[in-house]
Amino acid sequence: MQSCARLARMVDGRLEAAISHWAPRFTAAGVYPVDFDRITSALDSWDEWCQGWSQAAAQHAELGHQALEQGRTRSAGGHLAQAAVYYHFAKFLFVHDMDQLRTAHERAVGCLTAALPYLDPPGTRLEIPFEGAVIAAVLRQPAGPGPHPAVVLIPGLDSAKEEFGAVEQLFLDRRVATLSVDGPGQGEAEYQLPIRPDWEVPGAVILDALTAQPGIDANRIGVWGVSLGGYYAPRLAGGDPRVRACIALCGPFCLGDAWEQLPQLTRDAFTVRSGASDEPDAIRRAQQLTLEERTDGLTMPLLIVAGRQDRIFPWKDAVRLRDSIPGPGELLLLDQGNHGCANVPYLHRPYSADWMARQLGG
């Protein structure tokens, strides 16, 4: 006989969808599998999601603060960065309760900021003025003398810079600096700057800030984007000649064309973060996020990664992008890959980091 809790979970399709869609992504971002199972198995409804993940995050944060008090700074950095990931996943799609979302988000930002000096290599927080608001970013540079090549890491609809530690390390290990950003509609910018299609505009300001940093080689800059960031990255690269190489991971060619197959939680998040008044308005805005007639500038090397099992953005969008560019394009199409190919990170993350380092001379 099924328990009442199990029946409640079955009724709340949002919770079941979140667990089934996102488990590989969470673990690929550094969530311990035992934590994922423990946290999600205790939830009866989506309304409990943010609190459940925040409670687990607080445990990791406490370990970090204890380590700091004891002078174990390396462990402190690891625990606090881990807490930031958990707090981020507490809020990532929780747009129906903005008070809970913002509380968890503020704690995610606080934990990562506290962790930055103790990471290896350490990180520096940048605050980039843009249209009366701030684009927050984390810059990390490999040890040793520069100037270093650098890659801008661009999140998607529901990701943010707090999620990118594992990806950063891959590039850093290959002597490529990383700048993880929260662009319009993302992370710290999502409350003041709505999602926008013309990512070459905020992207130019981000590149200005990056290339002004000591130790960065302004002539060796790449961009990498995942999910909706897989649209933003080629949109930026095609509009700014400073970008020498681009990786698009599981992005849409046109977001509006994929709307009907998006999970409801994803639709809700886009509606809120785009500033739409309702779902029809959100669909209209989603149609503006398109690479149609925007690929002529993609003359630099472009690596397109996609998964045939992607239930969010169809893999044929990757083929369409490859076939529409004038420059050299490589398609890495993974038969078992889901959205973000998070279930097979070993099949694309090291290859992507090697590819970018080779293009930038890392």
Return the amino acid letter for 357. Answer: A
DSSP assignments along 173-218, one per residue: TTT-EEEEE--TTSGGGTTTS---S-THHHHHHHHHHHHTSTTEEE
**What residue ranges do the domains of the chain occupy?**
1-118, 125-362
Would you say 100 and 107 are in contact if contact means Cβ atoms under 8 Å apart?
Answer: no
Tell me the C-alpha distance between 301 and 256, whole Å.
Answer: 27
Weakest mean pLDDT among 6-20, 214-228, 286-300: 6-20
- Across the chain, mean pLDDT equals 95
Choices 3.10.20.30, 3.40.50.1820, 3.30.43.10, 3.40.50.410: CATH for 125-362:
3.40.50.1820
Q: Answer whether residue 303 shows pLDDT above 50.
A: yes
Strands 148-154 and 133-140: unpaired
- Calculate what percentage of the chain has a pLDDT beyond 90: 93
Torsion of CA 330, 332, 338, 343, to 10 degrees: -130
Q: What is the pLDDT of residues 43-97, one digit of tens each?
A: 999 999 999 999 999 999 999 999 999 999 999 999 999 999 999 999 999 999 9
pLDDT-derived band at 12, boundaries 50, 70, 90: confident
Same fold, 1-118 and 125-362: no
Helices (H), the chain: 4-11, 13-28, 33-41, 49-69, 73-91, 98-115, 165-172, 200-211, 229-239, 264-273, 279-288, 316-324, 349-360
Q: What is the pLDDT of residues 158-207, one digit of tens each?
A: 999 999 999 999 999 999 999 999 999 999 999 999 999 999 999 999 99
Choices 3.40.50.970, 1.20.1440.110, 3.30.43.10, 3.30.1490.190: CATH for 1-118:
1.20.1440.110
pLDDT value of residue 252? 98
Q: Which two tokens stand for residue 6?
A: 């199990």
Strands 123-130 and 133-140: antiparallel
